[in-house]
Every structure is written in structure tokens, then in C-alpha cells.
Homo-oligomer: A and B are copies of this chain.
Amino acid sequence: MTKKTKNDKILLAHGGGGQLTDDLIRRHILPSFDNEILTEMGDSARLDLTSGSLCLTTDSYVVKPLFFRGGDIGKLAVCGTVNDLAVAGSRPVALTLSLIIEDGFKMELLDRILSSIAKTARQSHVDIVAGDTKTVEAGAADKIFINTAGIGARLPGVDLGFRQIAVGDRIIVNGSIGDHGMTIISQREDIAFQTQLESDCAALAALTCQLLENVDGIRFMRDPTRGGVAATLNEISMSTGLSIKIRENDLPIKPAVQAAADMLGFDVLTIANEGKFIVVVSPESVGECLKICRNDPLGQEVQIIGEVVETRDVPLVEMETRIGGRRIVQMPYGRELPRIC
């Protein structure tokens, strides 16, 4: 048996902390993420930020399937964590990467995922500075799970939060909604129109930093992932005690996404996005916000979808429907889409 055939699959021993772990790290992982801090291979990465004011976040990724139109679990693992740092008002600096791999997982697929992680990290100007690899027996995990944690340097003078939000603030989204979730579910169900769908998976930090550095009236940002726009708007409403009014006509939804959702019985508002942000911005600053978004590839279809309004009885998210009626947009229950990210 040649060395190559020997290592075309992940073995339990690749997680044992010995020679094989060292092999995996030196041959497959380090070359993907070439940077001085990682190559030190210390127990922790050492970083020097210009200030001690930072953001820290984490997410695990269990998406199924691993590869989908518009992305894969690796791209998602970088974008998701970069976006969490971005919408918190920071510039992403470094990520950690932790893999849990099932015995027998193809090395070739691992390499594809690693190269996607590396490419996305490079494009997002973040380094992968620390990592971990665990293996489990066949049947003890579904192929591969990825965790990334990230730190970002907080942008000076930026203070986003629910408490900044006021009546009259506008709510904008940087483009079409529901693309990621409907792509995953369509691919999983293998339905006919899946080729027209593509995940919006993208790293938003360049655009969010530009917005925060140039627009004064930004109150709050969040990326509407699991639970979709419905969950994000309900979180805003519950946390501020204010109500939100959106207009169905102003929601940017691609026809293929709407068709898939209708066919499968989903509400697009509850579907996960992976390249979108909701921004709450003062009415004076909304114009500037739109202008900056439209000049960025990730914000060309930016849309004002609604605004923050006074609460009458209880804080509510309400939608003016296309036919002029009113519908309450509820917090989704949670059973919409398992393993979407």
C-alpha cells in the first residue's frame, strides 16, 4: 500500500494526538492556513491588537449537505463567525478552527473544505490562528462538524445596541432574503427547481465596517440566520419594547425562493440567511446608508423594509400585506429547518 492510499480517509488515530495527528496538521491543515501565528503551533495563539477593546464570538456548523450551491460548510463556518463579529461593530481579526470528523471521512473532501475555509478567510482578511482536530468512530458524528470562534477589534466610537433604537428608525436589509435556507432544503429534498437557488453565504465585514465608519445614525445590526428576518425583528421588538411595522411589498424575495417556499410550505421571513444583515438606522441617516450599500457588491439590492413604531398594547412585529391587510409576524417556533447552518 502506498502512503497515499493509506491516508485517503480520516482514521480515528488522526485524532489521537500522536504521529498521525501531527501528519494531518502538517500536511493538510497548516499548508492551508499559512501564517506565522498558527505555524508556531503553541497551545494558544498569541496576538497583539492595538487596543484591548474587542468582540468574541463562536458558532458550530452542522449543515447538511456539506456542499451546496453557493457554498459549503467551510465557507459557512468562516462567513457566519465573521458576520457575527461584523454586526457587533467590530473588524474581524482572527478565527480559531475546530474540527470533529467521523472515522472514514474522505481526506479529499476534508481538503476541499479546508481550501474553502482558507479562501474565505483570505477574502475576509482574517487569519486562522488556532485550531483543534478530534475524530470519533463511524456513526458517532455525521461526517464533519466545524466550530469557529473569532475575535474582532471594536471600531472606535461605535456603540450598537437595542437601547439605541428609537421610534421612527428605519429597518433595512442588504438584499434578498431566504436564499440560504431555501437552497439547503431544496437540495436536501432534491426538488426540481433547486438549480435556480443559490445560498447567499458571504462575509459582510467590509460593508459593515464601511457603514459604521461613515454613517452616524446606525443603532443596531444583526445577521438574520436561524429563525430568519422574523426572529431578528421579534428579538428587536421584545428587547426594546417597541413595535415594528414592515411592508410585504418591500421585502426583497427572489421568485425562485418564493416558489420553493410556497411549494414546501415555508414562510420566507423565517428562513435563514447567511449573507444578509438587518440594520436599524435613524431616519436622517438612512439615505447615506442606502448609498453606501448600493456601491458594494453585497448591498446592491438593499431595501428599506419597515420602521420602528410606538407600541400600543404589547410589542409586536406587524406586516402590511400586499393586499393591504395586516398580519402579525411571530417569533418562529424552531422546527422550521434543522441543520441549516
Q: Interface residues, chain A, CB within 8 Å of chain B? A: 11-22, 40, 42-62, 83-85, 87-88, 90, 94, 96-100, 129-132, 134-137, 139-142, 145, 147, 149-152, 154, 161, 222-223, 225-228, 231, 270, 272, 331-339
A226 CB, min distance to chain B CBs, angstroms? 2
Interface of chain A: mostly helix, strand, loop or mixed: mixed
Complex interface: chain B residues within 8 A of A335 (CB)? 11-13, 16, 18, 20
Per the bound structure, the CA–CA distance linking A137 and B338 in Å amounts to: 8
Complex interface: chain B residues within 8 A of A59 (CB)? 98, 132
Which 5 pairs across A and B sit closest by C-beta, in order of nearness?
A17-B226, A16-B334, A149-B149, A17-B227, A49-B52
B96 to A58, Cβ gap below 8 A?
yes
A152 to B44, Cβ gap below 8 A?
yes
Do A333 and B100 form a contact, CB below 8 Å, given A57-B130, A88-B43, A135-B338?
no
Per the bound structure, the CA–CA distance linking A48 and B14 in Å amounts to: 38
A50 CB, min distance to chain B CBs, angstroms? 6
A16 to B46, Cβ gap below 8 A?
no
Complex interface: chain B residues within 8 A of A132 (CB)? 58-60
